[in-house]
Amino acid sequence: MKKYFLFLFIFLLFCSKHVLETKYQMLRISIKNSKTSEKKAKLIKNFLKNHYASDYTYDLAMELIDYEKTKDYENFINWLINKTKKEETKNDLKYCLIEFYKRNKNKEKILEVFNSFSKPLNYYNYSETIKALIEVEDFENTFKLLEEVKKFCQKDYIDKEYEKLSEERRNRTYKRRNFEFEFLKAKAFLGLKEYEKSLNSFEEVKKFLKPSFLGTYLDDFNYYYAMLLKEMGKEREAISAILPDVIYEKNEKNYGLFEKIYQEIYGSKDGIEEFLKTKKEEISPLKIDFTLKDYDGKKFNFFDLSKNKVTLLVFWFPT
């Protein structure tokens, strides 16, 4: 008999998850169809009120910032934080508050949230706070927290924290954290206009991660690196630094900086599209060779197969 109840329980659990997903999809459609921010905010709030600790909580709470710009946001998120018992959700919601205060340039409130994280603090409590502090230009506290977060980036600390994970994954965490740590330092020095120190940190960053196949780094590394070079009067280097991001990650932020640097060098926007086209041909990456087997064990060499041909290379896995 017990067994049946267990099955029933699991079945209901399965259904409730499914129902939530459907509800979420319906919410997405409703948001798309609403014209005003107020209506969108109301829809999201209603969903969160009914499901305050689901897989969608963090994303929706972040999205809500776009629609709810007043103190109501603060009150609502704090209400959610009190409502949920899950420590993880509380943390996620606090990151949303930090993002909200970051956009409103409220230094004191960011630190207030930071101090409310449950102890012991973890790496992400620090890194998310520091990112926000840099944006609001509170460099004093930025460097104070950077000093404290150092220990989380050490190899033996990570080995202990992630004991159960494979060596490979621990190594990746090590590289990722140190990349981020030095990158935060570089950005903070840039904000303080200490350009030489910033440059040193950027050099350190590069030691931890290679650029991707496309020439882009994690996060917005290329963007800030180009900004530093521009401030140091090295416009031509700056433009090379931002190019891969402008070509392959077409967003306004990257393009805006690119446009500014271009105007500084050439005096106007004339010929900017032509310039991009030529540069694309120059910097577009070359294919990398490999030999792999097909499912019958037959070997294929990529270069032999694609020589003088237009080639579509797909990386996939069955879902």
Partner 1 sequence: MAVEAFQDTKRAKKLIKDKNLSFVFLEDEKIGDEKVYQKYSISAFPTNFIFGKDGRLISYHLGYGRHTKDEIKEEILKGLNEQK
Q: Which residues of the shown chain bind partner 1 in the complex (CB under 8 A)?
A: 212-214, 248, 281, 284-288, 290-295, 300, 302, 305-306, 308-318
> What is the closest distance, in whole angstroms, from the C-beta atom of residue 48 to partner 1 in the complex?
27
Q: Which residue has the tokens 């960011």?
A: 110
Cis peptide leading into residue 120 (ω within 30°): yes
Which of 226, 238, 221, 216 shows the shortest CA–CA distance to 185?
A: 221
Cβ closest to partner 1, residue 78 vs residue 291: 291
Q: Which of 318, 316, 294, 317 is nearest to 305 (CA)?
A: 294
- Output the smallest distance, CB 289 to partner 1, in A: 10
What residue spans of 84-161 are helical by DSSP H? 87-103, 107-116, 123-135, 139-149, 155-161
* Shortest CB 214 distance to partner 1, Å: 7
Encoded tokens for 46 = 């209603």
Q: Following CA atoms 287, 288, 290, 295 in sequence, which dihedral angle do they give, to the nearest 10 degrees?
A: -50
Nearer to partner 1, 5 or 295 (CB): 295
- Buried b / exposed e over 76-114, threshold 16 CB at 10 Å, is bbeebbeeeeeeebbbbbbbbbbbbbbeeebbebbbebb
CB closer to partner 1, 50 vs 311? 311
Q: How far is the CB of 269 from partner 1 (least distance, A)?
A: 24
**What is the DSSP annotation of 232-276?**
TT-HHHHHHHHHHHHHHS--HHHHHHHHHHHHHHHSSSTTHHHHH
Structure tokens at 306: 């694609």
> Hey, what are 295's tokens?
């499912």
* Residue 28 CB, nearest approach to partner 1 (Å): 16
Minimum separation from the CB atom of position 290 to partner 1 (A): 5
Q: How far apart are CA 223 and CA 270, in angstroms?
A: 22
Closest distance to partner 1 from the beta carbon of 277 (Å) = 12
Question: Smaller CB distance to partner 1: residue 53 or 214?
Answer: 214
Our CB check for partner 1 shows the closer of 5 and 315 to be 315
Question: Is the Cβ of residue 71 or residue 298 nearer to partner 1 in the bound state?
Answer: 298
Q: Is the CB of 70 or the CB of 308 nearer to partner 1?
A: 308
